[in-house]
Structure 1
Amino acid sequence: MKAIVSGHSRGLGAAIAAELLRRAIPVLGLARRRNATLQAGFPGLLTQHEIDLADSAALVRWLGGTALPDFLGADDRVLLINNAGTVHPVGALGQLAAAAIADAVALNVGAPLLLASAVAALPCRQRRILHLSSGAASDAYPGWAVYGATKAALDHHARAAALDRSAGLSICSVAPGVIDTDMQAELRAVAPERFPLREHFHAMHRHGQLSTPASRAARLVDFVLAPDFGAAPTAALA
């Protein structure tokens, strides 16, 4: 099996890529920046491509090339983990810049759907697709309309794609829980008038209620490699 991980340069994506590499699963990492630490630790297993996944036109051009089939080679099992995403823009609708909304939709929704479609079209015996969702996909929060809507889109995409019953294709959109990443730090720095729940996130951080990226990555990799992966199109990790 080989794996494709978006947003592998930091945070949960870096932890997921590291977990896969430790299990001797080759990884193709897609992000704006390379991960020098992973490259040094796993030089023979990690392939990296620098790409801005919020640039849909650039991603379409990249997918039209040979990078995916070249990476896959003769392996007939492939795993896609759509991890890359942004929590911004945060704020009430009238406070949000149009460009920021467009970038968020392109990164959080456009890129996962484009990558999923490309992987689904690969001539592989087994294709597994994991979307990284959020509890915000089902629970609405003030100031988080764009983020919640984009994550809800991933959940619905997985539900509809599962109904296609494509041979050899399994898909699930998973809420991984609250994790101590740069995204959490960014939320704690947002002005309270733009994100009324900021203090709630501060409290979780103060009380040690955030999971580490490494622990969540191990759970996610176990989940996506399990024999029954895709039995339900959406899930939440305990």
Structure 2
Amino acid sequence: MTQHLFILTGASRGMGLAMARKLLQPHHSILCISRKANDTLAAQAKLAGVALQQWTQDLASAADISARLEQWLREQASAGFASVTLINNAGMIPRIGPLSEADADDLNQALRVGLEAPMQLTSAFLRATGSWTGKRKVLNISSGLGRKAMASQATYCAAKAGMDHFTRCVALEEALKPNGAAVCSLAPGVIDTDMQTQLRGADASAFPDQHNFVSLKEKGLLTSPEEAAARVLAYLAKPDFGSQPVADVRD
């Protein structure tokens, strides 16, 4: 039992892609789930001799992808992985503005991707791997905005706050099991990704904190996706991972 299996959502760009690249190591098998495949990542995996699968799926269809994942994991049970890890990284910010002006479809999409999909995938993962003897981990990528309110960010804040709290509940449940999974909802810090570009480019009249995000960029206070990925994966590798169900990589 020397192989380690990683399942990662939102792996085609940003910190998700950086994490996927860093996971291309000997004895690793990786399943990435994103709306688009990344050809460069596939080429890098082939060069490194690492087993990589990329499923292209809109995570707004959470029930479909979770059912597929559960079936696939049940088929891998005989492989005897030393560990299996689910990293719920995918998320999205809907159109930025007050909730009173939110588009219903936009709001629905953001909550499905940001909260329902992680819950559905975690449920399927825990159920399918419940009898596995290797170490099981669930890492949910949260945000400081799940713990701090911000005007014109109600949907994103709600999704991340929900992620934090469902993780707390799952941690209590898994602690009662003989080989319960270690789970953690981790805020990765402020990262220079497309999401930050979206926040900086928002209409300042509809987003009171827009200038703060512009200032973060101008002052060089944003972490690169590669650095953030390294810090997150280092946290995941800690022997006491899961001892705090809700954490911040900066602590």
Cα deviation, residue 70, structure 1: 4.1
The question of whether the paired residues in 2 share the 8 Å contact of 1:109 and 1:154 is answered with: yes
Q: In structure 2, what is the equivalent of residue 96 of structure 1?
A: 102
CA deviations over 1:42-91 (Å, ceiling 9, x no partner): 12321111111012343244245x33344563325200110000022321
SS in structure 2 at match of 1:21: coil
Verify: 1:85 aligned to 2:91, yes or no: yes
Cα deviation, residue 226, structure 1: 1.3
The question of whether the paired residues in 2 share the 8 Å contact of 1:28 and 1:71 is answered with: no
Cα deviation, residue 98, structure 1: 0.4
Verify: 1:150 aligned to 2:159, yes or no: yes
Cα deviation, residue 132, structure 1: 0.5
Tell me which of 141, 144, 149 is aligned to 1:135.
144
The question of whether the paired residues in 2 share the 8 Å contact of 1:89 and 1:104 is answered with: no
C-alpha separation in 2, matches of 1:154 and 1:235: 12
Verify: 1:232 aligned to 2:244, yes or no: yes
Which amino acid counterpart does residue 33 of structure 1 have in structure 2?
Answer: K
Q: In structure 2, what is the equivalent of residue 174 of structure 1?
A: 186
Residues 38-77 of structure 1: pairs in structure 2 closer than 5 A: 38-43=41-46, 44-63=50-69, 66-70=71-75, 73-77=79-83
C-alpha RMSD of matched pairs (Å): 1.5
SS in structure 2 at match of 1:15: helix
Shift of the 112–20 alpha-carbon distance from structure 1 to 2, 3 Å rule, reads same
* TM-score (norm. length: structure 2): 0.90
Q: Which stretches in structure 2 are left out of the alignment for 5+ residues?
A: none
C-alpha separation in 2, matches of 1:57 and 1:115: 8
Cα deviation, residue 203, structure 1: 0.7
CA deviations over 1:130-156 (Å, ceiling 9, x no partner): 000011111100100110010000100
Q: Which stretches in structure 1 are left out of the alignment for 5+ residues?
A: none
SS in structure 2 at match of 1:26: strand
Which amino acid counterpart does residue 3 of structure 1 have in structure 2?
Answer: F
Cα deviation, residue 187, structure 1: 1.1
* TM-score (norm. length: structure 1): 0.94
C-alpha separation in 1, matches of 2:82 and 2:114: 27
What is the percent sequence identity of the aligned residues?
A: 36
SS in structure 2 at match of 1:162: helix
Verify: 1:2 aligned to 2:5, yes or no: yes
Provide the aligned length of Structure 1 versus Structure 2.
237
The question of whether the paired residues in 2 share the 8 Å contact of 1:76 and 1:124 is answered with: no
Verify: 1:187 aligned to 2:199, yes or no: yes
Q: Which runs of 4+ in 1 moved over 4 A?
A: none
Which amino acid counterpart does residue 102 of structure 1 have in structure 2?
Answer: N
SS in structure 2 at match of 1:58: helix
